[in-house]
A and B are shown apart, each in its own frame.
Chain A
Amino acid sequence: MKQLISFTKKEFRHILRDRRTLLIVFAMPVVLVILFGFAITNDIKNAEIAILDNSNDNLSTGIINKLTSSGYFIKVKTLQSNNELQQVFRDGQIKLAVVFPEKFSESYTHNNKAQVQLIADASDLNTATILINYANSIILNYQQDISKSTSNKTLFDTTIKMLYNPEMKSVFMFVPGVLALIMLIVSAMMTAVTLAKEKEMGTFRVLTVSPLKPSTIIIGKVIPYLALSLINACIIIILSMFIFKMPIHGSLFLMFIVCIVFLLTAVSLGIMISSMVDTQQTAIIVSIIGLFLPTILLSGFIFPIDNMPFILQILCQIFPAKWFIEAIKNVMIKGTGIENVWLQILVLNLMTMVFITVSIKKFRQRNA
C-alpha cells in the first residue's frame, strides 16, 4: 500500500512537472469543446439567400418575410430574371434561391395550388439538404397559418417535432464525441506514453527487478490518469451545460458510471498499446492511428453509422468509443435509465477484460 501511494505520488509529479502533459490534459478539452461548439457546426444560421419574385403579391412577400425573419436566412440579393440565377450561384454569394412564379397568389386562391421553387447549391450537399428542409417547413407553416385564417380548406397537416434536441443544435451531438476523444487521449494515450517512457529511459527494467508487483506498477501508473480524465469529463460537461445550454436529462450518477466504465476500457487499451511498443514515439503513432481516427470517423461521432456501408458498420462495433457515445447520448440527451445502457456497459467491460488479458500475455512474453 505504501509502495502504491509512493508510486502514485511519483506519477503525479511527472505529470505536474511536464508542461506538455499539462497542456494536453487541461487545455485540450476546453479547446475541443469550444471548437466543436462554435466553429465546427452543422447548424444553419443566417444563410445567404436570393429571391426572384416574379409576382410580387401579398402571398409571396408574406413568405419572404417569414423566411427572413426566421433567423436562418438573410436576403442578400433580389433578382430580376432567371438569367441572374446562374451567376449568383457561381459567384458563391448565396446558398439558396427562392423563386416565385408569375401570378403566384392568384393561382393559389383560384387553383388552390401554387409552386415555389427552391434552388440550392448542392456542391455542399449537407448544407443544401438542411437549407431546403428549413425553408420547406417554414413555407408549409405559413401555408397552414393563412389557410386557417381565410377558410377551412383541409390541408395536409405535417407537424415536425424534433425529439430530445428541439432546436437541432449540433453541439449536443459533439459533446459525447468530444468526451470520448478526450478520455481516450488522456487515459489511453497518456498511459501508453508514460509506460513507454519508462521503457525508453530504462527505469522500467529497474522497476521490474524491484520487489514491486506488476499490478502495483500498473495501478500506480493508471490512478493519476483516471483522476485527470474524470476531472476532464467534468470540465467538458460543465462547459457544455453553461456555454451551450446543453440540458442533462438523465441521472448524473448513471453518467458518471458510464464514464468510469469507458475510462477503464480506455486505460486498459493504453496498457495494451504500451505492452506492444518500446518508445514514446511509437506509442503516440499507434494511439493516433488506432484510437483517434476510428473514434472520429467510425464511432458515430461525426458520421452517422447507419449511413455507412455494411462492412464499415460491422467494423464500427469493435471500437469502444461507439458504445460509449451511444450510452452517454442515451443517458444525457434522452434521459434513459440503466435499462437502455446495460448492453453498452457490458460490451465495454468485456472489451476491458480482453485488453487486460492481451496485455498480461504480451508483458509475459516480453519478460520471458
Chain B
Amino acid sequence: MNTIIADKLTKRFGDFTAVDNITFEVGKGEIFGFLGANGAGKTTAMRMLCGLLGPTSGKATVAGFDVYKQSEKIKRNIGYMSQKFSLYNDLTVKENIEFYGTVYGLTRLQIKEKTTKLLERLQMISEKNKFVKDLPLGWKQKISFSVAILHEPKIVFLDEPTGGVDPITRRQFWELIYETADEGTTVFVTTHYMDEAEYCNRVSIMVDGRIDALGSPQYLKQKYNATSMDEVFYMLARETATK
C-alpha cells in the first residue's frame, strides 16, 4: 500500500500557480527525494501533504488520510524535521525528547523507554543532560531526526535536513535515514544537494510547480544520458529556461 498518493494536486495563490497538477505515489519504507530549485514549489507541496495548507484542486492521501478533511489525523501520523533542527537550544537533550514526546501524546513510560533507546542508538547516553546548544551540529541533526520519529510515524518529512553540514556528517546522517526506512517508515526528503539525491530510492524534480522528472536516480541518469544527478538537474533547468 502506498503511504502518499497525490493525484493532480494543485495550489494557486491568486494568479500564481505554486503547485501545478502534480501526480505521484510513494510506497511504504521508500526514500523519496523531492528535488527542485528554490521557488519551484517544493515547500508548498510539502505543506499540503502535512495538512497545513488546503489544496486548490486535485486529490491526495497521506498515511491513508485525506488532506482536505483529515489533517488532524495526518499530523498524528507524520514526523517532521526541518533544516533549522526543531530542537530548543536552551533545553537539555532529555527535556527536548520529553517535550516532543508529550506533544505527540506518548505516555511518560513510553517516553522514558524511548529516550533510553534513542540515546543508546546514537551513543549519547552521557550527553543526556547537556544543553542542545552545546552539542556539535551533526549531533543536533541526529537527535532532531530521532525526535521526529519518536512517535513511530508512518511517514517522516525532512525539509532540507542536512543544510550546513560537511559531507561526512551528511553521510552518517543518511545511514540513520536508511535504518529508519528499513524499519518500514516512509522518508520524504527535500534537498538541493544533488549528491544526496543519489541516495534516494526514487526522486522527483520540480520545475515551476510541475514535476518534470520522476524515477530512480539510475533511470533518470540513463534517460537524460547524464553521469550524475547534478547534470540531470541542470538539463531540466536549462530546458525550461529556453522554452
The chain A residues found within 8 Å of chain B, CB to CB, are 2-3, 6-7, 9-10, 13-14, 17-18, 201-203, 205-212, 367-368
- Selected contact of A211 from candidates B84, B105, B157, CB within 8 Å: B105
- Selected contact of B86 from candidates A7, A17, A202, A368, CB within 8 Å: A202
> What is the chain A residue whose CB lies nearest that of B101?
A6
Given contacts A201-B84, A210-B75, whether A14 and B103 have CB atoms under 8 Å apart is no
Asked if A10 and B86 make an inter-chain contact with CB atoms under 8 angstroms apart, the answer reads: no
Asked if B85 and A211 make an inter-chain contact with CB atoms under 8 angstroms apart, the answer reads: no
Q: Which 9 A-B pairs have the closest CB atoms?
A: A202-B84, A6-B102, A209-B80, A206-B86, A211-B75, A17-B90, A211-B76, A210-B103, A10-B99
Chain A residues positioned under 8 Å from B81 (CB to CB): 206
Tell me which residues from 76 to 119 in chain B have a Cβ below 8 Å from any Cβ of chain A. 76, 78, 80-91, 95, 98-100, 102-105
> What is the chain A residue whose CB lies nearest that of B105?
A211
**Is the CB of B54 closer than 8 A to any CB of chain A?**
yes
| Distance of A7 Cα from B84 Cα, bound (Å) | 20
- Please count how many residues in chain B sit with their CB below 8 Å of the partner chain's CB atoms: 29
Interface of A is mostly: helix
> What is the chain A residue whose CB lies nearest that of B159?
A205
> What is the chain A residue whose CB lies nearest that of B79?
A209
Asked if B103 and A3 make an inter-chain contact with CB atoms under 8 angstroms apart, the answer reads: yes
18 contacts between A and B (CB under 8 A): A3-B102, A6-B99, A7-B99, A14-B88, A202-B83, A202-B84, A203-B84, A203-B88, A205-B80, A206-B80, A208-B52, A209-B50, A209-B75, A209-B78, A209-B80, A210-B100, A211-B76, A212-B103
- Selected contact of A14 from candidates B83, B85, B90, CB within 8 Å: B90
Asked if B53 and A6 make an inter-chain contact with CB atoms under 8 angstroms apart, the answer reads: no
Given contacts A202-B84, A202-B85, whether A211 and B50 have CB atoms under 8 Å apart is no
> What is the chain B residue whose CB lies nearest that of A208?
B52
**Is the CB of B175 closer than 8 A to any CB of chain A?**
no
Instruction: Give me 7 other A-B pairs in contact (C-beta within 8 A), A10-B95, A201-B84 excluded.
Output: A10-B88, A14-B88, A14-B91, A201-B85, A209-B50, A210-B75, A368-B53
Chain B residues positioned under 8 Å from A205 (CB to CB): 80, 82, 84
Asked if A367 and B91 make an inter-chain contact with CB atoms under 8 angstroms apart, the answer reads: no
> What is the chain A residue whose CB lies nearest that of B80?
A209
| Distance of A251 Cα from B78 Cα, bound (Å) | 53
Tell me which residues from 111 to 156 in chain B have a Cβ below 8 Å from any Cβ of chain A. none
**Is the CB of B195 closer than 8 A to any CB of chain A?**
no
Chain B residues positioned under 8 Å from A17 (CB to CB): 90
Chain B residues positioned under 8 Å from A3 (CB to CB): 102-103, 105
